[in-house]
Amino acid sequence: MIKLRTILLGGLAASALIFSPGCAKEGGVDTSSNEKDFIEAWIKEFHPEAKKSGLGIYILEDEPGTGASLTDDDFYLFVDFTATDLDGNVSSTTYEKLSQQIGTYDAANYYGADIIIRDRAYCPVGILEMVNDMRIGGTRKAVVPGWLNVNDDYDTAEEYEKKSSGTNGIYTITLMGKESDIIEWQLDTLERFVMSNLGLSPADSVFMGYYSKTIKEPTDTTTFTSDTNFYINYTGRLLNGHVFDTTIEDTAKVHGIYSSSKTYAPMYVTPSADDYKDTQIATDATSSGSTTVEGFAYCLSKLRPFEKVICAFYSELGYGYSGKDSSIPKFAPLVFEIEVVAEPESE
């Protein structure tokens, strides 16, 4: 629930976040002629049937899709993938079952399609080379040499070989869908969610991309003033029901995200007199607070005594294109259930 965080390529995570903004080039690969010779020798030894693309990825397997082909307007691609090193060790995957099989599963992580942004500033050029001529439903497996596993922007294969360095990898990617307008996609998805789950209509949107519904009436209809502190419990979910954060211990245990290192207790809210975006939450009145994502902060600014609400909002009011850690994917609308509670009794 704390503000945006950039995810970098190459983390050994069982989540779906490797194609994230700032996929910086990794060290550890000598892109001299020796490294190129090594890749070519490895391909000749283990995959002599591989097809080399224009920029120099090696396609090992290709199952064409039967769905629509990509156009220049399809800037956002939904993919499932598995990434391994050249020895076949899995470094990242979107598949929950595979994560369970290899012992990296974590219930707190998000498992599901990741989003590729078709721009070299946001996704390694080698990955873009893999997907650019795929059709929906297709699956492709390819070796991406380290010098193409970068965000650099050159015109030729030779320039990448001479100037770039990254980590060699084998990627298996299935193209699940595509969108030209990720905001419109989110708004449509959020609209369907609130209609089905909250009984709200598009007309109930407070402002673009934000919905709220009271599920327990307040004891006083007056909104908290800016000089009134209060306590809340909350649970945060994705639209698919995945719980990524909560202040309630039993809820954390039920959803498999309990951590013995975390204190589960109501949070202390300090409203802002000038701008609701500056509202802070802390573990108690004596602790330093932190600001939250905008959608959550706005919901806090409208709470009344002992009210319980559900607020749902698109990623522009949440974690945007970065997502958060391994638990919240890019461009994810969020749902929070928030309840104003009594001050916890001192132990």
At residue 21, the 3 state secondary structure works out as coil
Stretch (H or E) spanning 341? strand 334-341
Q: What percent of the chain has a predicted confidence (pLDDT) above 70?
A: 90
Q: What is the SS3 string spanning 54-105?
A: CCCCEEEEEECCCCCECCCCCCEEEEEEEEECCCCCEEEECCHHHHHHHCCC
Local confidence band at 112 (pLDDT 50, 70, 90 cut-offs) = very high
Query: Over the stretch 18-55, which tens digit does the pLDDT of each residue have?
Result: 444 334 333 334 445 688 999 999 999 999 999 999 99
347 is a domain residue: no
**Full domain range(s) for residue 169:** 33-179
Number of C-beta neighbours around residue 20 at 10 A: 24
Q: What is the pLDDT of residue 328?
A: 97
Q: Which residue among 144, 179, 214 closes a domain? A: 179
Is there a single domain that holds both residue 171 and residue 188? Answer: no
Between 26 and 208, where is the model more confident? Answer: 208
| Average pLDDT of the residues of the chain | 90
Is there a single domain that holds both residue 145 and residue 197? Answer: no
Is there a single domain that holds both residue 156 and residue 276? Answer: no
Local confidence band at 346 (pLDDT 50, 70, 90 cut-offs) = confident
Q: What is the mean pLDDT of residues 332-338?
A: 98
283 is a domain residue: yes
Is there a single domain that holds both residue 117 and residue 228? Answer: no
Q: Residue 186 above 50 pLDDT? A: yes
Q: How far apart are CA 165 and CA 172, in angstroms?
A: 21
Is there a single domain that holds both residue 168 and residue 259? Answer: no
Contacts within 8 Å (CB) and 24+ apart, 51-55: 53/129, 53/142, 54/129, 54/157, 55/125, 55/126, 55/129, 55/148, 55/157, 55/160
Q: What is the pLDDT of residue 118?
A: 97
> CATH number, domain at 106?
3.10.50.40
Is there a single domain that holds both residue 286 and residue 330? Answer: yes
Q: Residue 5 above 50 pLDDT? A: no
Is there a single domain that holds both residue 130 and residue 152? Answer: yes
Is there a single domain that holds both residue 135 and residue 190? Answer: no
Q: Residue 57 above 70 pLDDT? A: yes
Is there a single domain that holds both residue 172 and residue 300? Answer: no
259 is a domain residue: yes
9 is a domain residue: no
Structure tokens at 86: 């050249």
Q: What is the pLDDT of residue 347?
A: 62
Q: What is the mean pLDDT of residues 79-88?
A: 97
16 is a domain residue: no
Q: Which DSSP category does 277 fall into?
A: G
Q: E-assigned strands of 68-126?
A: 76-84, 90-93, 114-117
Is there a single domain that holds both residue 120 and residue 224? Answer: no
Q: What is the pLDDT of residue 275?
A: 94
Q: What is the pLDDT of residue 25?
A: 36
Q: What is the pLDDT of residue 33?
A: 66
Q: Which residue among 115, 147, 179 closes a domain? A: 179
Query: Over the stretch 119-175, which tens digit does the pLDDT of each residue have?
Result: 999 999 999 999 999 999 999 999 999 999 999 999 999 999 999 999 999 999 999
12 is a domain residue: no
Q: What is the mean pLDDT of residues 235-244?
A: 97
Q: Which residue among 146, 179, 212 closes a domain? A: 179
| Direct distance between the N- and C-terminal alpha carbons of the chain, in angstroms, rounded to an integer | 27
159 is a domain residue: yes
Q: What is the pLDDT of residue 26?
A: 37
How many domains does the chain contain in total?
2
328 is a domain residue: yes
Is there a single domain that holds both residue 198 and residue 278? Answer: yes
Local confidence band at 196 (pLDDT 50, 70, 90 cut-offs) = very high
Ordered DSSP codes for 135-158: BTT-EEEEEE-GGGSS----SSHH
Is there a single domain that holds both residue 76 and residue 214? Answer: no
Instruction: State which amino acid sits at residue 293.
Output: V
Q: What is the mean pLDDT of residues 287-296?
A: 94
